Amino acid sequence: MKFRVVVASQMAALAIPAQLTANEQKSESSQRSDFIVLDAPDISHTSKPFKSPATEGWFYTWMGVFAFLFCVAAFGPSIVHPERRLGPITPLVAVHGIVFFAWLLLFGAQTILASTNLAVHRRMGLWSAILAAALVLLGYQTTIAMGRRGYDLSGDVGVRSDPLAAIAFPLLDVFMFAVLFLAAYFYRHRSAIHKRLMLLAVTGALMPSPVAHLTGHFAFLRDKGFLTPLMLAIFLAAGAVHDRITFRRIHPVSLWIALAIFVVENLCFAVVMPSAAWHAFAAWLIR
C-alpha cells in the first residue's frame, strides 16, 4: 500500500514536476482537476504497534515462576544448612522474606489474570501496590539493620569486610524497584509498557540479591567473579530476547531500560561502593 500526498495546484506554478501513469490518471479522474497526486513510499511499518499474541502472557508467567524458584534456590541453602550462618533469622528479616516471596507469588498470579480476567487483574493492582510499598520499606530497614550489625545473617554475601560499601547495592535495588513499579503503575493503561516495566522490576531490581546469595553460598561459585554480572545480564536480557523472537523487534523498554539498569548496577559496584563519599553517606544513614 502506498500513501498519497496531495499537493495543491498552486504549487504547479513553482514548476514542481509530476508525472502520472495512465492508471493513476484514470483513478484520479473523479478528483478535482486542480490537485496533483504524488506517490510516497510506505513507512507504516515504523509505527507498527506491539500487539500481543494470545500466548505472550505465558512468557511473563514463566518468568515469574522462574524468579520464584531461583529465589528459593538462592535463600534456601543458608536456611536448610545453617552451619555457615552468622546469626539466626530476626523478626525483621523474616517479615521481609515473607513479603518478598508474597510479592513474587502475586506477580505470577497477576500475569495469569492479565490474560484471563483483566477486571480481576486490575482490582488486584491495589494489593500489588500495598505489597510493593511494604517491600520497599522492609527492604530499606533490613539493609540499614545489616549495616548497623556489620554482617549478613546468612553469611553468604561477605558483608563483614566492608559493611558500609555492602549496603550500597541492596539500597540501589530498593530504589530501582520503587521507580520501576511507580513507572509501571503510571503506564498501567498501556499494557506493552506496563508489563515490561513490571518484569524489569522483578528481574532488574529484585534478582541481584538472590544472585549474590546464590554465588556467595557455594564455594565453587564464590570465586567466579564473572557469574554475578552474567546472571544479571541474562535476567535483564530475557524480555528483549522474547520481544525479538515474538515480534521480530525489541520494545524500547526491554532494550533501553534494561541496558540502563545494567549500567547503573555496574557503576554502583565499580565506582560508588568503594568511594569515600559513599562511605560517609552510608555512615550517616546507619548512625
As given in the structure block, the three cell numbers for residue 169 are: 547495592
CA distances from 1 to 42, 76, 274 (A): 7, 58, 58
Residue whose grid cell is 510493593 = 132
C-alpha angle 118-60-265 in degrees, rounded to nearest 5: 125
pLDDT tens string 183-235: 999 999 999 999 999 999 999 999 999 999 999 998 888 878 788 999 999 99
Which DSSP category does 250 fall into? -
Q: Cβ(74)–Cβ(213) under 8 Å? A: yes
Q: What's the pLDDT at 18?
A: 39
Strand partners, 40: 3
Which DSSP category does 188 fall into? T
> What is the C-alpha separation between 28 and 190, in angstroms, rounded?
40
Residue whose grid cell is 508474597 = 102
Q: What's the pLDDT at 77?
A: 93
As given in the structure block, the three cell numbers for residue 41 are: 513510499
> What is the C-alpha separation between 150 and 160, in angstroms, rounded?
6
Per-residue confidence band for 142, with pLDDT thresholds at 50, 70 and 90: very high
> What spatial distance separates the first Cα and last Cα of the chain, rounded to whole Å?
67
> What is the C-alpha separation between 75 and 284, in angstroms, rounded?
29
Q: How far is CA 32 from the centre of its chain?
A: 54
pLDDT tens string 231-244: 999 999 999 999 99
Q: How many CA atoms lie within 13 A of 128 on its CB side?
A: 25
Q: Which pTM does this prediction carry? A: 0.80
CA dihedral 114, 242, 76, 267 (to 10 degrees): -110
Per-residue confidence band for 48, with pLDDT thresholds at 50, 70 and 90: low
Which DSSP category does 14 fall into? G
